[in-house]
Structure 1
Amino acid sequence: MSSVLVTGSSDGIGAETARALVALGHRVVLHARNGERADDARAAVPGADGVLVADLASLAEVRAMGGSAGAFDVVVHNAGVGGGAAERSETVDGIERILAVNVLAPYVLTALMPVPRRLVYLTSGLESQGRADLDDLQSTRGPWDGMQAYSDSKLWDVVLALAVARLQPGTVSNAVDPGWIRTRMGGPGATDDLADGAETQVWLATSDEPAATASGRYLKRRRELRAHPAAYDTAVQDGLLAACAELTGVRLTPR
């Protein structure tokens, strides 16, 4: 039995991932952004071992969670926000919201939490449309384009997963595109159901098959795909880590 933390697990793909892991007999800890959503998480996954509460748009709350969450065998970085907002918005820390939640939060948690055996970072097929512009992480140039900011964040998630795989060779670190899933974020017109969206993460978290224990990959439906070329560039990886460290005050070091 493994201990697993699934961020953003009060509904959608995160809750489905947690339910599947509980059904397999694993100890699962959920995460929600506030007390109300924590209640939703407990209701969605009644067999879970507990719920961590932290608003991932707040660096203070993310740092507190990273410092107090404890050790897990597996961490699934599922939490994220979409790009549907009509206007650019900033967090209480003055950081563009999509970047803060989708990229900086998993970065800080990875840097501060005890090193797990396996890490899974959720991305999107839109990572292929992301811009690897380290000089504009916060999308300040030109008119606001929420979907472009989202695509950029999903590319950065792949970059982060591959950077961690390189710097923490004792940890199996991979990025997963769950597909277009019928969730609140994906919408009713999405092509795939929740079970499809969670299946690869559950497999990576639990299987001892050689294909599930290889690190530094971008996967969909258990198959390795070729990500945006920038994801494999170690200079881009190091640049992202340096930029994240500057924005958060937290440094991810090789371990």
Structure 2
Amino acid sequence: MPSAPNTSKFVAIVTGANQGIGKAIVAQLAHRPTSSLIYLAARDEKRGNEAVDELKNGLPADTSIAFLHLDVTNEASINAAAARVKSEAGIVNVLINNAGVAAKGSAFDGEIAKWTVTTNYTGTRKTTQAFLPLIPENGRIVNVSSTMGRLGQVSKELQDQFSSKSLTLDGLDKLMDQFVASVADGTYASKGWPQQAYGVSKVGVTAFSRVLARQPEITSKNILVAACCPGWVRTNMGGEAAHLSVEDGAKTPVWLATADKQEILEGGKLENGLFYRDRKHVEW
């Protein structure tokens, strides 16, 4: 019989964490003066384990980092990861959805739109759904989005739909599906969409955070939900010209994961599910 999960530790999961911002988030969470179990989640097992081996040196005695195999584009992988964490830890205090992709250069077609949205938006949505039952009262969900996902890049009609307080998760799925379909058939511009797969995928991530924050399973457990932009960071995605280090890029996600909730919500002045950059609320 397996041993009972250890619920005395702070348990966090960071997706897409074998490199870049995700890896820096894991490092910063692990070096807090709190007994912790940090799951470094990634789809590449070899690189994920190498990242764990690198980060585990010098950790506080009561903190550990474990590799978690998780491909956010594969539902079976997501469900297997959730089952493992349920068995080992029992809870997830913080889920940080960091995994994401962006096509290089100016290439733009139906396949690129589908790949980008499937990873960045659908992957975030399905991963959150799988782990949500493990998130306890006052837990947190942090979705790494981007300023490139600004709402103003879509038409006024689409802006109204994305920002509507009556938008449902199913309705949001349909909007994202409409974008992919309109790119595939070449009608995207006439329907109010930009020639920007990454940007639209991040519109979806930020909108998901807003809609998720209204769900009964979130409000009943007082779970904090937030989307954030890490800034322009020197990563494989951001490029060498970016002015921020990965350590800088990790600061806002880590702040949202660990800071006092009253500070994040400005003493209750802000709604749940908003967008942040540089450790402060900014307009979407």
Q: TM-score range by the shorter chain?
A: 0.7 to 0.9
| 2:240 counterpart of 1:188 | yes
Kindly state the Cα deviation for residue 147 of structure 1 after the two structures are TM-superposed.
6.7
* Whole-angstrom CA distance in 2 between matches of 1:210 and 1:175: 17
3-state DSSP of counterpart to 1:5: strand
Output one character per residue of 1:84-110: Cα deviation in whole Å (capped at 9) or x when no partner.
26365759xxx9211111111111121
**Equivalences for 1:34-183 in 2 at 5 Å?**
34-46=44-56, 47=59, 48-70=64-86, 71-84=91-104, 86=107, 88=109, 96-113=114-131, 114-116=133-135, 117-128=139-150, 130-131=153-154, 132=158, 133-134=175-176, 136-138=178-180, 139-142=183-186, 148-167=196-215, 168-169=218-219, 170-183=222-235
Q: Is the contact made by 2:116 and 2:198 (CA closer than 8 Å) also made in structure 1?
A: yes
87 and 158 in structure 1: CA distance in 2 versus 1, 3 angstrom threshold: closer
* Whole-angstrom CA distance in 2 between matches of 1:136 and 1:32: 29
* Whole-angstrom CA distance in 1 between matches of 2:38 and 2:78: 19
143 and 187 in structure 1: CA distance in 2 versus 1, 3 angstrom threshold: farther
Question: Over the residues paired in the alignment, what is the CA RMSD in angstroms?
Answer: 2.6
| 2:260 counterpart of 1:203 | no
155 and 130 in structure 1: CA distance in 2 versus 1, 3 angstrom threshold: farther
130 and 152 in structure 1: CA distance in 2 versus 1, 3 angstrom threshold: farther
Mean alpha-carbon deviation: is it higher for 24-33 or for 62-71? Answer: 62-71
Aligned residues: 224
Output one character per residue of 1:62-92: Cα deviation in whole Å (capped at 9) or x when no partner.
233344432200000011011326365759x
Q: Is the contact made by 1:158 and 1:218 (CA closer than 8 Å) also made in structure 2?
A: yes
Q: Is the contact made by 1:11 and 1:40 (CA closer than 8 Å) also made in structure 2?
A: no
* Whole-angstrom CA distance in 1 between matches of 2:232 and 2:128: 26
Structure 1 residue runs without a partner (length 5+): 228-255
* Whole-angstrom CA distance in 1 between matches of 2:194 and 2:43: 22
Question: Which residue identity lines up with residue 55 of structure 2 in the other structure?
Answer: V
